[in-house]
């Protein structure tokens, strides 16, 4: 069973950009399997025709020279050889089963579950994990968002209570460690930023050590010293408390347990903290007063504080900015959005990893702890790994150590489109069609009040002569190879699905009620049954039937406000049908603002302001003193800056970058002059973990002592003659897995001690 039937040829075909979490709707023209033209899709309910310049380069992904054409197996001589699907699936199932039987399913690790906008396959991963007893997992979110998710859980009662900003209606927009002009993060970002900047009644606040394109538009740019965001945020909050600028009515009605927090903020010496973060006290006070006096404030944090010192504390303090000023649950402020699926992992009882004791948040092991769980003689160590649509060798801190860890495994299985750095190390490589050759979707549905979702149909078939399977089919075959579904009446359920989905749903949920061990296998069961009845080869969309009914059951009023009619089972069916037929996407929930308070998961529906662990850390800031820089590593490197000319590593072909092909290291003119470097010079960049030769760009948007490398480079890619080359520097060849947040384990990629010398 496959689901890669291409859509009929058309002049313009709707799909989505896959280069960041926004996944803007686009329309494309296809010419001889090439994406020849791209434009924004005006019918898309999120982006409304907006698309940035990066989408114009999508053919570099679609027709990359390192695309895989068939499954591969590690041969006895160490090379990768072609192998048939039946053999690969059988051998993988046997080897995973042997690891499970000898060492337990907890020794098998799952990483990934989908890259950007490549999420349908991940929806089927639960079945494979259950079939082999997999207990531990992680993905890219554990490098960025788990600290924020944990803070959400403490404040709002559940980590899935994720807030989203309403910048289009906000009087004041605040960006903390975020440059949305180049990294986006909310729909139509550049349009909205320009609207705010030109309106004298509105204000833009940016907290960032760099003078970015977003900061250049700002009314208030708090240009902190790298790594001191916590001091700046704490000072802002202290002004709100000490000058009695809090929204007392909001706090009395909607928040509690704030006494200890407010007491700590009341004692903070604002002038001292201003000096530590390098921002003038007058600017901090003016900013706090602007936030307190605004009719609405929306705030967005990102990697600049999530991958820096005090990252989990930073996320807490950022959220207190909008909570203490009452900017929650209203238009133009912060609200808790709906969702089509969970962004976290498995919510199991495990709270720590078995070997290193790292904290597990939303079911995800910190990425920096993965090698620790492998490179040990502990009997509970990880021994096998399944990697789906991810490239941890390149994306996780300390790439050399990650390679060492993967070499130690008994078995490594990789699902991917291209022969990535991780795939090159695998025992088996299972190739899938590109995102434009199969049914796909993104589960990044983060908007309020109108939240949107897009199921994308294929706009072309796989390359001629290739032997590829979409990820749902790979998961189905692996699960089938274990025999766990052999006694399930698939034929009978399929016949019911073809005749009546109501009867099918009744029979399916009765089966799971009698046999709860089948629950994690539901995606594969509906794929084999309902999926077979869906039109145009859309079997992969079958898992969304479960999501549609879940959303309809939990958020029925919001679904009906979105224009989808029905009650009970009929509402879920109507939503699923709308998902299948809305090729440019659809609004699936339209929330009323009181929904934000209804979604609070604490029993009293109130925010808990004090998080004891983080208030302890906040108190400890007073005693924290920054000593002199290490003379061997006097600079601070931000590893992985997002720029207009960089994207996620789905773009492996360096030819897509028309400028700055090697990804220059940005250096302040003072440092460049001191070292003796001119624009375009080559230099040697060294950290405690590694060294690389870089091209220098002299850039006055940084502060002295702060240097920056872009993301998405240093990838192996074949030239036209087939020889492998690497363009630019892989940032994680220079980062350390030991440098991580004490609480969530997120890496300090934005604060790496470094030195720079003329090459």
Q: What are 512-565's pLDDT values in tens digits?
A: 999 999 999 999 999 999 999 999 999 999 999 999 999 999 999 999 999 999
Continuous segment of H or E residues that includes residue 260: helix 259-266
pLDDT at 4 over 50: no
Sort strands 450-453 and 586-590 into parallel, antiparallel or unpaired.
antiparallel
265 neighbors 241 (Cβ within 8 angstroms): yes
DSSP string for 576-634: HHHHHH-TT-EEEEE--THHHHHT--STT--EE---HHHHHHHHHGGG----PPPTTS-
Given this model, what pLDDT does residue 579 score? 98
Count of alpha carbons within 13 angstroms of residue 239, beta-carbon side? 24
Q: Do residues 250 and 326 touch, judged by C-beta distance below 8 A? A: yes
Q: How confident is the model at residue 721 (pLDDT cuts 50, 70, 90)?
A: confident
DSSP one-letter code for 744:
T
CA–CA separation, 585 vs 564, rounded Å?
Answer: 14
Question: What is the pLDDT averaged over residues 681-693?
Answer: 97
* Nearest residue to 394 (alpha-carbon basis) of 712, 657, 667, 178: 712
Question: What percentage of the chain's residues is helix, strand, coil (to nearest 5)?
Answer: 40, 20, 45
Burial class (CB in 10 A: 0-12, 13-18, 19+), 130: buried
Strand pairing category for 384-388 and 411-416: parallel
User: Six-digit token pair at 224?
Assistant: 């902190």
pLDDT at site 573: 98
CA distance 67 to 118: 16
Quickly count: other Cβ atoms within 10 Å of residue 610's Cβ: 18
Q: Is the pLDDT of residue 8 over 70?
A: no
Q: Considering all CA atoms of the chain, what is the largest pairwise distance in Å, rounded to the nearest integer?
A: 77
Residue with tokens 């879920």: 572
Q: Taking a C-beta distance cutoff of 8 angstroms, is the pair 256, 609 a contact?
A: yes
Q: Are 700 and 215 a contacting pair, CB within 8 Å?
A: no
**Could you give the count of Cα atoms lying within 13 Å of 468 in the half-sphere of its Cβ?**
25
Q: Kind and range of the H or E element at 99?
A: helix 85-103
pLDDT of 365 reads: 96
- Say how far apart CA 193 and CA 167 lie, in whole Å: 9
C-alpha 211/C-alpha 218 separation (Å) is: 10
Q: Are strands 172-176 and 297-301 parallel, antiparallel or unpaired?
A: parallel
CA 324 to chain centroid, in Å, comes to: 28
Is 123 strand, coil or helix? Answer: helix
Could you report the per-residue pLDDT of 573-611, keeping only the tens digit for each? 999 999 999 999 999 999 999 999 999 999 999 999 999
* Mean local confidence (pLDDT), 285-295: 98
pLDDT exceeds 70 at position 344: no
Mean pLDDT lowest for which of 110-124, 408-422, 564-578?
Answer: 110-124
Q: Give the tokens for residue 23.
A: 């996944």
What is the rounded CA–CA span in Å between residue 589 and residue 557? 8
Q: Is residue 484 helix, strand or coil?
A: coil
How far is Cα 234 from Cα 317, in angstroms, rounded to an integer?
7
Mean pLDDT of 324-341: 97
β-partners of residue 297 are 172
For residue 63, give the DSSP letter: T
Strand 220-222, strand 203-207: pairing: parallel
Question: What is the distance between the alpha carbons of residues 756 and 709, in angstroms, rounded to a whole number?
Answer: 12
Lowest mean pLDDT among 115-129, 193-207, 358-372, 530-544: 115-129
Residue 68 pLDDT: 96
pLDDT for residue 647: 85
The DSSP annotation for 389-439 comes to S--HHHHSS-HHHHHHHHHH-SEEEEEESB--TTGGG-SEEEE---TTSS-
Instruction: Tell me the C-alpha distance between 285 and 299, whole Å.
Output: 18
Q: Omega into 211 within 30° of 0, i.e. cis?
A: no
Q: How confident is the model at residue 1 (pLDDT cuts 50, 70, 90)?
A: very low
The band of 470, judged by pLDDT with boundaries at 50, 70 and 90, is very high
How many whole angstroms separate alpha carbon 26 and alpha carbon 42?
A: 8
Strand blocks (E) in 252-328: 255-256, 297-301
**Rounded Cα–Cα distance for residues 66 and 63 (Å):** 8
Q: Say how far apart CA 463 and CA 69 lie, in whole Å.
A: 8
CA–CA distance, 139 with 116 (Å, rounded to integer): 12
The secondary structure of 507-574, three-state, reads: HHHHHHHHCHHHHHHHHHHHHHCCHHHCHHHCHHHHHHHHHHHHHHHHCHHHHHHCCCCCCCHHHHHH
The arithmetic mean of pLDDT across residues 180-205, rounded, is 96
Q: In what order do the strands lie in the sheet with 220-222?
A: 220-222, 203-207, 172-176, 297-301
Please tell me what DSSP assigns to residue 225: P
Pairing of strands 384-388, 108-112: parallel
- The percentage of residues in the chain with a pLDDT greater than 90, rounded to a whole number, is 92
Strands (E), 252-309: 255-256, 297-301
Average per-residue pLDDT for the chain? 95
What integer pLDDT is reported at residue 692 of this predicted model? 97
Q: Do the beta carbons of residue 71 and residue 460 sit within 8 Å?
A: no
Residue 173 has pLDDT above 90, yes or no: yes
On whether the CB atoms of residues 303 and 138 are closer than 8 A, the answer is no
State the Cα–Cα distance between residues 413 and 129, nearest whole angstrom. Answer: 13
Distances (CA, A) of 28 to 9, 44, 116, 644: 11, 13, 18, 21
The CA distance from 704 to 701, in Å, is 10
Query: What is the tens place of the pLDDT at every residue in 64-85?
Result: 999 999 999 999 999 999 999 9
- Looking at per-residue pLDDT, the higher value among 443 and 626 belongs to 443
């Amino acid at each position: 069973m496959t689901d890669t039937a291409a859509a009929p040829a058309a002049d313009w075909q709707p799909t989505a950009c896959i280069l960041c979490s926004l996944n803007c709707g686009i329309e494309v023209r296809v010419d001889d399997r090439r994406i020849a033209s791209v434009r924004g899709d005006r019918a898309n309910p999120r982006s409304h025709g907006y698309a940035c310049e990066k989408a114009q380069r999508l053919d570099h992904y679609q027709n990359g020279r390192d695309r895989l054409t068939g499954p591969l197996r590690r041969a006895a001589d160490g090379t990768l050889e072609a192998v048939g699907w039946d053999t690969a699936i059988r051998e993988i199932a046997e080897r995973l089963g042997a690891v499970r039987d000898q060492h337990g399913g907890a020794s098998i690790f799952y990483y990934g579950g989908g890259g950007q906008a490549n999420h349908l396959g991940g929806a089927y991963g639960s079945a494979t994990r259950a079939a082999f007893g997999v207990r531990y997992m992680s993905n890219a979110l554990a490098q960025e968002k788990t600290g924020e998710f944990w803070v959400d859980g403490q404040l709002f009662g559940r980590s899935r209570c994720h807030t989203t900003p309403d910048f289009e209606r906000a009087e004041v927009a605040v960006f903390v460690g975020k440059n949305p002009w180049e990294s986006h993060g909310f729909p139509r970002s550049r349009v909205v930023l320009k609207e705010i900047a030109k309106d004298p009644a509105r204000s833009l606040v940016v907290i960032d050590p760099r003078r970015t394109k977003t900061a250049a538009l700002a009314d208030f740019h708090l240009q902190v010293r790298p790594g001191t965001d916590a001091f700046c945020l704490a000072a802002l909050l202290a002004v709100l408390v000490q000058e009695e600028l809090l929204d007392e009515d909001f706090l009395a009605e909607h928040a509690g347990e704030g006494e200890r927090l407010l007491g700590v903020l009341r004692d903070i010496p604002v002038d001292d903290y201003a000096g530590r973060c390098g921002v003038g006290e007058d600017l901090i006070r003016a900013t706090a007063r602007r936030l307190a006096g605004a009719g609405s404030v929306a705030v967005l944090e990102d990697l600049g504080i999530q991958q820096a010192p005090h990252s989990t504390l930073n996320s807490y303090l950022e959220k207190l900015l909008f909570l203490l000023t009452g900017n929650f649950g209203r238009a133009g402020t912060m609200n808790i959005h709906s969702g089509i699926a969970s962004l976290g992992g498995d919510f199991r009882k495990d709270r720590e990893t078995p070997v290193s004791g790292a904290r597990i948040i939303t079911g995800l092991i910190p990425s920096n702890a993965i090698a620790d769980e492998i490179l040990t003689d502990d009997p509970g160590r990880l021994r096998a790994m399944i990697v789906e649509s991810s490239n941890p060798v390149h994306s996780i801190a300390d790439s050399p150590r990650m390679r060492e860890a993967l070499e130690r495994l008994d078995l490594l299985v990789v699902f991917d489109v291209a022969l990535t750095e991780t795939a090159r190390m695998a025992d088996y490589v299972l190739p899938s069609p590109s995102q434009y050759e199969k049914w796909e979707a993104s589960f990044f549905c983060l908007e309020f009040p109108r939240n949107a979702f897009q199921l994308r149909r294929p706009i072309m078939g796989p390359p001629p002569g290739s032997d590829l399977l979409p990820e749902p089919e790979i998961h189905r075959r692996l699960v089938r190879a274990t025999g766990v579904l052999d006694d399930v009446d698939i034929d009978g359920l399929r016949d019911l699905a073809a005749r009546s989905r109501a009867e099918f749903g009744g029979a399916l949920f009765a089966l799971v009620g009698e046999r709860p061990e089948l629950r994690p296998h539901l995606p594969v069961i509906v794929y084999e049954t309902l999926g077979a009845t869906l039109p145009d080869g859309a079997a992969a969309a079958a898992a969304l039937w479960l999501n549609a009914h879940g959303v309809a059951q939990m958020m029925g009023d919001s679904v009906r406000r979105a224009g989808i009619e029905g009650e009970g089972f009929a509402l879920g069916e109507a939503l699923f049908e709308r998902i299948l037929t809305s090729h440019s996407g659809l609004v699936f929930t339209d929330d009323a603002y009181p929904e934000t308070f209804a979604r609070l998961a604490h029993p009293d529906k109130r925010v808990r302001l004090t998080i004891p662990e983080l208030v302890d850390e906040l108190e400890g800031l007073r005693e924290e003193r920054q000593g002199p820089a290490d003379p061997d590593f006097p600079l601070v490197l931000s590893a992985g800056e997002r720029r207009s000319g960089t994207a996620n590593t789905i773009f492996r072909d360096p030819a897509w970058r028309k400028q700055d092909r090697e990804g220059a290291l940005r250096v302040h003119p003072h440092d460049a002059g001191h070292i003796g470097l001119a624009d375009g010079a080559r230099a040697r960049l060294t950290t405690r973990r590694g060294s690389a030769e870089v091209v220098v760009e002299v850039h006055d948007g940084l502060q002295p002592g702060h240097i920056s490398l872009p993301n998405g480079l240093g990838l192996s890619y074949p030239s036209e003659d087939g020889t492998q080359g690497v363009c630019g520097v892989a940032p994680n060849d220079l980062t350390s897995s030991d440098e991580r947040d004490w609480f969530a384990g997120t890496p300090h990629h934005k604060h790496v001690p470094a030195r720079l010398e003329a090459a």
